[in-house]
Amino acid sequence: MSAQTANGKEVQFYSRDDVAKHNKQGDVWIVIDATIYNVSKFAELHPGGESVFYDEEVAGQECTETFFGLHRHEVLLKPAYQRLIVGKIKGEESVIKVPEPGAASKVPYAEPMWLTPNYHSPYYTDSHRRLQKAMRAFVDDRIHEVAQRCEDNGKRPDVDLVQEMGANGLNAMRMGPGKHLQGRKLFADVKAEEFNYFHELVITQELVRMGARGFGDALQGGMVIGLPPIMNFGSDDLKKEIVEPVLAGNKFICLAISEAFAGSDVMGIRTTATLTEDGEHYIVNGTKKWITNGVFADYFTTAVKTDMGFAVICVPRSCGGVETKQIKTSYSTTAGTAYVTYDNVKVPKRYLVGEDGLGIQIILSNFNHERWVMCCSTIRAARAMCEQDMLWANQRKAFGKPLNGQAAVRQKLAQCISLAEAAQNWLESVTYQMCNMSYKQQSLFLAGQVALLKSWSTRVSHEVADASVQLFGGRGLTKSGMGRFAEEFHRTYKFDAVLGGSEEILADLGIRQALRFMPQDQKL
């Protein structure tokens, strides 16, 4: 009698006694999850060494527990290793399942409460749930492979993927609710009139599960923060030239505010724009640093100083005089993080965004949405990390029992999960306020809340990253293998803690906003 493996190969059934006969160098079989692997030839190529297979508890023996204490399941799914399968154990079934693309995780706390069976939420409708399912499947099927490849080779995301996300409506949906959705076919058949910030939250949080922080920014991070000023304050002419081509993935844009001279201290920027005598052009000079997607951007939504004060000018690369140089940061160069220099760039005046002198309002109003997106992302990343921690603590044995048999380990899990849960709940509450406030009201009443939320979210990520590395030990410091998510999260969560306003600045902003509303008629 024969059986079929995952890749459709016909294999034989054997008893455990049959397998036990293959127990010497040159002829070694092992059993993992009721599946028999012939590792005789593979042994000398095995990244974990040849000798491990000749141990008497391994050669010809049951190895499921040993295997999963050392390897991720995905190792077994690689075609090169599927080829090692020679049979199945007679009368036994494999128990470890590969999650279907798009499936929800069954690990406790791996999904936010609204996606966990038996729990309820007032915020999400059928439309959000439909979007979540479709988005997860799209990420698993279409984006995941590109993300891992680009994380590794550091190249920008495939343009055809960005264009596909333009055609299926996802790029536009990542810009939040608004007129730009009207009359557009949206992903997962979401209707423009029902679209709210929870839809955007769902998209952002599903993208984060890939565990590829650099790629997360590479995939239109520049659009998410660089296009809103054009959409909200640009002239019709400017919108016509820029918005659709960017949403379609035919042109790329980035936000250029921070400089070597000024980060969170926006007022300290030194890039200048001087109007020409005929009033037809601005001459832009200066530098910008840490500009996400800058390496491959066509447009730079640039904060400048002018005679009138602050202004925002969308500088097209095609004007000439714009140079971009890759900065190697601690995440992948796929994000295209750039050092930008403007050398006497002659920009036609029509690229001024909004009014000259009112740039600071444009920049500040843009921050709210940017910071909220970062909260959606870092909070979901912390939860994804908790899922890894729960799985690891369950399958890794130390001192003769699973890690989660140790009280100290359970304390760490409790701390991480509680923080991730609390953060998601605050985020959802703020998102609900956004759904019920105008853009102006959000600036007035939510700037402080969003600032505090972002500041605290990255403290949450800090705690979760720290605890996770401790749980994974050396593997949490290793770029491949069991702890690779912990290593990646620990290395990259700081991007959210520094970008878009640093933790300390935002905590302070949150309190300063609150102080504006302190009642004058109350004393202790």
Binding footprint of ligand HEM on the chain (CB under 6 A): 30, 37, 39, 46-48, 52, 58, 63, 66-67, 70-72, 75, 81, 84, 480-481
Q: What share of residues in the chain are helix, strand, coil (percent, to 5)?
A: 50, 15, 30
Task: Indicate the residue among 52 and 262 with the shorter CB distance to ligand HEM.
Answer: 52
Report, in Å, the least distance between residue 149 CB and ligand HEM. Answer: 18
Report, in Å, the least distance between residue 70 CB and ligand HEM. Answer: 5
The CB-nearest residue to ligand HEM is: 48
- Going 171 to 140 to 203 to 353, the CA torsion angle's sign is negative
Report the distance separating Cα 377 and Cα 210, nearest Å: 11
Q: With contact defined as beta carbons under 8 Å apart, do 181 and 192 qualify?
A: yes
Q: Which residues contact 145 (CB under 8 A, 6 or more apart)?
A: none
CA atoms within 13 A on the CB side of 355: 4
Query: What HEC string does 72-120 produce?
Result: CCHHHHCHHHHCCEEEEECCCCCCCCCCCCCCCCCCCCCCCHHHCCCCC
Task: Indicate the residue among 65 and 145 with the shorter CB distance to ligand HEM.
Answer: 65
Report, in Å, the least distance between residue 30 CB and ligand HEM. Answer: 5
**What are the distances in angstroms from CA 406 to CA 95, 355, 399, 498?**
26, 61, 9, 35
Question: What tokens were used for 116?
Answer: 């966990």
How far out from the chain centre does Cα 425 lie?
A: 19
Helices 407-435 and 447-472 sit at what angle, rounded to 10 degrees? 160
Q: With contact defined as beta carbons under 8 Å apart, do 472 and 337 qualify?
A: no
Task: Indicate the residue among 73 and 305 with the shorter CB distance to ligand HEM.
Answer: 73
Report, in Å, the least distance between residue 1 CB and ligand HEM. Answer: 23
Report, in Å, the least distance between residue 337 CB and ligand HEM. Answer: 28
**What are the distances in angstroms from CA 95 to CA 33, 163, 192, 233, 260?**
7, 39, 43, 56, 55
Dihedral angle over CA of 297, 299, 305, 311, nearest 10: -140
Q: With contact defined as beta carbons under 8 Å apart, do 303 and 256 qualify?
A: yes
Report, in Å, the least distance between residue 250 CB and ligand HEM. Answer: 40
**What are the distances in angstroms from CA 446 to CA 178, 267, 452?**
18, 22, 10
Question: What tokens were used for 232?
Answer: 């909200």
Report, in Å, the least distance between residue 177 CB and ligand HEM. Answer: 43
Radius of gyration of the chain from Cα atoms? 26
Report, in Å, the least distance between residue 22 CB and ligand HEM. Answer: 13
Rounded to 5°, angle at Cα 483 from 477 and 485: 100
Report, in Å, the least distance between residue 98 CB and ligand HEM. Answer: 15
Query: What HEC string does 454-491 produce?
Result: HHHHHHHHHHHHHHHHHHHHHHHHCCCCCCHHHHHHHH
Report, in Å, the least distance between residue 358 CB and ligand HEM. Answer: 54
Report, in Å, the least distance between residue 67 CB and ligand HEM. Answer: 5
Task: Indicate the residue among 250 and 480 with the shorter CB distance to ligand HEM.
Answer: 480
Report, in Å, the least distance between residue 480 CB and ligand HEM. Answer: 5
Q: With contact defined as beta carbons under 8 Å apart, do 71 and 482 qualify?
A: yes
**What are the distances in angstroms from CA 80 to CA 39, 50, 149?**
12, 17, 18
Closest to 419 in 3D by CA, of 456, 449, 387:
456
Question: What tokens were used for 434?
Answer: 């956004």
Report, in Å, the least distance between residue 505 CB and ligand HEM. Answer: 40
Task: Indicate the residue among 21 and 46 with the shorter CB distance to ligand HEM.
Answer: 46
Question: What tokens were used for 289?
Answer: 């640093």
Report, in Å, the least distance between residue 482 CB and ligand HEM. Answer: 6
Question: What tokens were used for 153?
Answer: 């080779």
